[in-house]
Amino acid sequence: MKQKADLAVYQEETPRVGPPTDPDVLLDVRNLQTHFHVMDGTVKAVDGVDFSLKRGETLGIVGESGCGKSVTALTIMQLLDMPPGEIVGGEIWFEGRDLLTLAPEQIRKIRGADMAMIFQEPMTSLNPVFTIGDQISEAIILHQHVGKKEAMTRAIASLRAVGINAPERRVKQYPHEMSGGIRQRVMIAMALSCNPQLIIADEPTTALDVTIQAQILELIKKIQADSGAALLLITHDLAVVAETVQNVAVMYAGRVVEAGPVEDVLLRPQHPYTLGLLNSIPALHKRGRKLDVIKGVVPNPFRMPPGCKFEPRCPYAWEVCRRSEPDMMDTPGRKSRSRCFLHAAEGAARRYEFEKAAVATVTAGLPEAQA
């Protein structure tokens, strides 16, 4: 009863538009807001995030530490600690249902079965006291309603699918008997084991050796292509995004500031923040020069700037940016959208300077230019 009452209030505040009309859309996140209530006040970690993901599609979310990308992922999986976390508003449509209106028991049945998650820390994400066979088959028994033996057979099969040698032997081993790379493969096998529609990978390669990173990325790409699952890849690494996904959303201070096909966003950036990220990638042609960094720091979550959240650090900001916050805007002739006044009517005069800098950065960074 209580939940129903809550829902009514909720509906008054934000009119719901119902499930996405396009049946191909698997995940549709609308105006998602996740806040953390801490001692010093409320941190709006995710503050109105929108994006959608079609079946079999891949989407990357990039941004600095603290921009809310991991919280977005955990909110979708409903794995946040509440309190201190609270999902304040928004909708998460997944396979025609709004996850935020479902009972915990219904979410639990979706979690691990229809959507699965790969975490950042393979060293600590597996339970040290159970064999990995136990840990993989546990989810299979739960969601696919098979016996222990059949589940173990499937666990072995999924270990084989992620390229682990002698999986029959590996299932009997404990996590401490494996390297970080193998453990991340195990995590991927676990995520795959119930054939999910959506795989969320939260910084899956960050904790790994550079040599292993490439292998794991290749593996994620391969299993995504083989299984046909949609992939939501969360990373701070633009190179990973460039190699792995079709679409990308750049997040800053709890919001998406630029989104679109990966080649548009990375080669024709429209938001000064995206350009700043591209500039700060170390590259061969910049050898010997000081690394370009985005000036300043991420704003204090308790004292967000009143206008555009990036304005204090933005070299192109002017008066209007301090006053109000831009919406996501289209740019003529581009598929990507961005949250910047440069692309509004009042920014037209300043746009040229930005475009010039963007072209300079991108052409200098192209492989041909580096060679």
Among 88, 142, 320, 362, binds other proteins (CB under 8 A): 142
> CA of 291: how far to CAs of 202, 285, 286, in Å?
27, 11, 8
Which of 141/298 has CB closer to other proteins?
A: 141
With CB under 8 A as the contact rule, the residue among 28, 57, 64, 138 that binds other proteins is: 138
Looking at residues 276 to 315 of the shown chain, list those that interact with other proteins (rule: CB under 8 A): none
Q: Applying CB under 8 A, does 111 fall inside the site for other proteins?
A: yes
In the chain the beta strands, taken as DSSP E runs, fall at: 25-38, 41-54, 58-62, 85-94, 97-98, 115-118, 198-202, 230-235, 247-252, 255-261, 329-330, 337-338
When binding is defined by CB under 8 A, the residue of 42, 101, 125, 153 that contacts other proteins is: 125
Three-state DSSP class for residue 302: coil
Closer CB to other proteins, 208 or 256, in the complex: 208
The SS3 call for residue 96 is: coil
229 is an interface residue for other proteins by CB under 8 A? no
Q: Is 119 in the site for other proteins (CB under 8 A)?
A: yes
Q: Which of 59, 92, 162, 190 binds other proteins (CB under 8 A)?
A: 190
Helix, coil or strand: residue 117: strand
CB of 112 vs other proteins, minimal distance in Å:
3
Cβ closest to other proteins, residue 142 vs residue 357: 142
- Residue 8 C-beta: closest distance to other proteins, Å: 27
In the numeric block, which tokens belong to residue 285?
Answer: 């042609």
Kindly state whether residue 176 participates in binding other proteins, applying the rule CB under 8 A.
yes
10 Å Cβ neighbour count for 105? 7
Any contact of residue 159 with other proteins (CB under 8 A)? no
* Cβ contact 153:123 at 8 Å: no
C-alpha 46, offset from chain centre: 12
**Interacting residue with other proteins among 139, 189, 259, 283 (CB under 8 A):** 139
Of 16-24, 129-137, 287-295, 340-348: span binding other proteins (CB under 8 A): 129-137
* Residue number, 106 or 363, with CB nearest to other proteins: 106
Q: 282 burial class (0-12, 13-18, 19+ CB within 10 angstroms)?
A: exposed
CA 173 to CA 153: how far, in whole Å?
15
Report the residue from 55, 56, 79, 261 that binds other proteins according to the rule CB under 8 A. Answer: 79
**Ordered DSSP codes for 180-241:** HHHHHHHHHHHHHTT--SEEEEESTTTTS-HHHHHHHHHHHHHHHHHH--EEEEEES-HHHH
232 is an interface residue for other proteins by CB under 8 A: no
Q: Which of 47, 110, 28 is nearest to 77 (CA)?
A: 110
> What's the min distance (Å) between Cβ of 125 and other proteins?
5
Which residues are at the interface with other proteins (CB under 8 A)? 77, 79, 108-113, 116-117, 119, 121, 124-131, 138-139, 142-143, 174, 176, 187, 190
